[in-house]
């Protein structure tokens, strides 16, 4: 591997702008559809359930293929994989924009946009890691990318609502196509450092990892319908009741199937390593304490952000009677917090370690959740939302940047493809779990005399505290010196 510090300086704008835009558009695609479900369903002749299935399939496709997609960045090259992902994603958005039925909508949005996201997202984090060896530089540029991710997720409903109301839902997909075209033009100047010899693609491992993640995420998404413990309704397959109402929730059936397949996947990659072959994912990635704890904090950060936004959004729409645009505007303080924290990431990294920043981020988020619970009531003023949402945004913004930096920086360049895919999979799993967990608590607590929103927020608060506990065990390192030595060939397990 070439010494990182020997590489020529790379203009930040030519790298970070297209990468940040790509991360924004992928996050936007996952959150903007919810505000137009009914409108799209009426236009293309389907049902709300059909559109919810389409959104679920997008999440499943992206989460399932993130690890195989990241491996292709080692085989095809980071820039090639990034550009291919953009092309597939843009094609999917164009098909979705002109779809006249559910079939084309699923093909364009769920499949092609999901596949495109799985191809283009891992190279975003790999390129920043390999082009900028200094942890402080990485913090700065990861901050921009993380800010774009947070902005896309938080502002997606507002932007989608505005575009749908002012023009049409089809214009929202055309907007994605235009942004993707702009990114492709900007990305022509991206530099992809030389890589080692390309490994062979582990097809069996790719199938097993994708199938395992598919069933785990599918199970989690079923929780809002059937609950986590006992089934709230009959669970049927092909018209046959498999689990009657009151039986064990089918969530665990799907999760168990996914766990078995992922166990098979782990045995497969270990066997390939022993045979001297290239597995889809190296088992050594699970032997590094810093990286493992960083992955846990990444998962909980996205769980907390998506879960809290979901609870607040449902509260505003069901209790306050707000529409999609008003709801998006009310979430603005959290968006401002994410952007402010992400913009300050580089300066914070010069003064404090990334591990300490993760802990501070979780602490700030915990205070924000507590303020929401203490101040917000059914008839309370708009200002009661602001302190809590702002602190949650600030806390999440600090954590998103620092956790990515901790995980990516824990590994040398030869492992960046593998760790990037694993990192993005954990983040996607957290996003799915956050919405599902919050939604199931809201449904389960919606009984006479119950307090579903308070209970759902309290659940998010507990998850934040678990994240803080995990962050407390991440080994603390001093902020790096201006010149960073070449990463070790093999990170030590600690």
- Contact, 63 vs 432, CB < 8 A? yes
- The CA-atom distances, in angstroms, between 368 and each of 303, 434, 458 are 15, 17, 12
Angle of helix 452-472 versus helix 416-444 axis, rounded to 10: 150
Residues 300 and 387 in one domain: yes
Residue 488: inside a domain: no
Angle of helix 416-444 versus helix 114-131 axis, rounded to 10: 130
Residue 196: inside a domain: no
Q: Which of 468, 66, 442, 151 is nearest to 300 (CA)?
A: 468
pLDDT at 96: 93
Residues 56 and 138 in one domain: yes
C-alpha distance across the termini of the chain, in Å = 24
Burial of 171 by CB count in 10 Å (0-12 exposed, 13-18 middle, 19+ buried)?
Answer: middle
Domain interval for residue 24: 11-191+280-472
Say how far apart CA 84 and CA 115 lie, in whole Å.
10
Length of the chain: 494
Residue 491: inside a domain: no
Residue 489: inside a domain: no
Residue 309: inside a domain: yes
Say how far apart CA 325 and CA 173 lie, in whole Å.
18
Residues 375 and 452 in one domain: yes
Residue 89: inside a domain: yes
Residues 250 and 187 in one domain: no
Residues 233 and 268 in one domain: yes
Residue 54: inside a domain: yes
Count: domains in the chain: 2
pLDDT at 341: 85
Q: Which of 371, 404, 405 is nearest to 388 (CA)?
A: 371
User: pLDDT means per 10 residues in the chain (494 residues)?
Assistant: 45 80 88 76 83 81 87 88 95 94 92 93 88 79 82 77 84 93 91 74 91 86 78 80 84 91 94 88 87 91 86 81 77 85 80 88 94 87 90 88 85 81 84 78 58 85 93 74 40 36
Residues 374 and 285 in one domain: yes
Q: Tokens standing for 377? A: 């009531």
Q: DSSP for 139-186, please give it.
A: HHHHHHHHHHHHHHHHHHHHHHHHHHHHT-HHHHHHHHHHHHHHHHHH
């Amino acid at each position: 591997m070439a010494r990182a510090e020997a590489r020529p300086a790379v203009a930040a704008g030519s790298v970070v702008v297209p990468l940040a835009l790509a991360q924004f558009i992928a996050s936007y695609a996952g959150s903007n559809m919810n505000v137009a479900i009914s409108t799209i369903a009426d236009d293309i002749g389907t049902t709300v359930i059909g559109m919810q299935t389409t959104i679920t399939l997008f999440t499943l496709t992206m989460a399932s293929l993130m690890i195989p997609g990241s491996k292709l960045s080692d085989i095809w090259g980071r820039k090639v994989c990034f550009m291919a992902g953009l092309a597939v994603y843009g094609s999917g958005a164009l098909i979705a924009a002109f779809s006249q039925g559910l079939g084309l909508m699923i093909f364009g949005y769920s499949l092609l946009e999901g596949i495109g996201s799985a191809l283009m997202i891992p190279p975003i984090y790999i390129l920043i890691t390999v082009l900028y060896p200094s942890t402080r530089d990485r913090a700065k540029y990861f901050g921009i990318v993380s800010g774009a991710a947070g902005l896309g997720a938080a502002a997606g409903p507002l932007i989608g609502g505005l575009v749908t109301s002012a023009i049409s839902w089809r214009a929202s997909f055309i907007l994605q196509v235009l942004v993707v075209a702009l990114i492709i033009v900007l990305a022509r100047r991206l530099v992809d450092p030389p890589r080692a010899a390309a490994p062979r693609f582990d097809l069996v491992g790719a199938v097993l990892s994708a199938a395992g993640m598919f069933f785990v995420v599918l199970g989690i998404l079923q929780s809002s319908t059937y609950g986590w413990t006992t089934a709230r309704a009959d669970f049927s397959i092909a018209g046959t009741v498999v689990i009657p109402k009151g039986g064990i929730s089918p969530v665990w059936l799907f999760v168990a199937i996914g766990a078995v397949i992922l166990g098979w996947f782990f045995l497969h990659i270990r066997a390939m390593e022993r045979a001297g072959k290239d597995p889809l994912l190296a088992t050594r990635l699970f032997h590094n304490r810093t990286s493992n704890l960083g992955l846990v904090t990444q998962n909980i950060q996205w769980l907390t952000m998506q879960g809290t936004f979901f609870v607040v959004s449902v509260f505003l729409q069901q209790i306050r009677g707000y529409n999609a645009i008003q709801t998006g505007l009310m979430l603005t303080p959290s968006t401002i917090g994410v952007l402010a924290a992400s913009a300050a990431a580089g300066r914070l990294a010069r003064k404090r370690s990334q591990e300490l920043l993760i802990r501070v981020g979780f602490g700030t988020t915990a205070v924000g959740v507590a303020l929401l619970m203490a101040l917000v009531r059914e008839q309370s003023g708009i200002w009661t939302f602001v302190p809590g949402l702002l602190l949650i945004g600030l806390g999440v913004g600090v954590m998103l940047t620092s956790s990515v930096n901790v995980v990516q920086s824990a590994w040398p360049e030869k492992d960046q493809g593998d760790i990037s895919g694993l990192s993005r999979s954990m983040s996607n799993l957290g996003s799915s779990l956050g919405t599902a967990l919050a939604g199931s608590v809201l449904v389960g607590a919606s009984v006479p005399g119950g307090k579903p929103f308070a209970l759902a927020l309290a659940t998010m608060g507990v998850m934040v505290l678990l994240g803080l506990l995990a962050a407390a065990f991440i080994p603390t390192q001093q902020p790096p010196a201006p010149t960073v030595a070449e990463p070790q060939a093999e990170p030590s397990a600690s």
